[in-house]
Amino acid sequence: MADEGLVIFDCDGVLVDSEAISKRVSYEMAAEELGFEPSPREIEELDRLNLGRSDDDIFDELATRLGLNVTVGFMVRLSIRKTEEYAKG
């Protein structure tokens, strides 16, 4: 076997089920800081549309569509909180 010199590890969803934690934290923070509280039906639709997309893309679209004030600070806090939650679970 040839020495390829490159290994790619993709643990997200394989070794760590981060999707559920990521969604929960995103919805909690969107409600707390942005006043965005979608209905269960809206959450189902958002989950379907945003599967596999980055937080930046998701919140950029929400900001554009709904006029939410999504700041860099919010995105940093979101990232930190998700990391903390991943460590717990």
**Would you give per-residue pLDDT tens digits along the chain (89 residues)?**
566 777 766 665 666 678 889 999 999 999 999 999 999 999 999 999 998 899 999 999 999 999 999 999 999 999 999 999 988 87
pLDDT value, residue 51: 86
CA distance 23 to 42: 13
H-only helix segments in the chain: 18-34, 40-50, 55-66, 72-88
Q: Tokens 């390829």 sit at which residue? A: 4
Q: Rounded to two decimals, what is the model's pTM?
A: 0.79
Q: Beta-carbon neighbour count of residue 33 at 10 Å?
A: 16
Residues 6+ apart with CB under 8 A from 24: 85
pLDDT value, residue 19: 85
> What is each CA distance from 88 to 17, 22, 47, 77, in whole angstroms?
12, 13, 23, 17
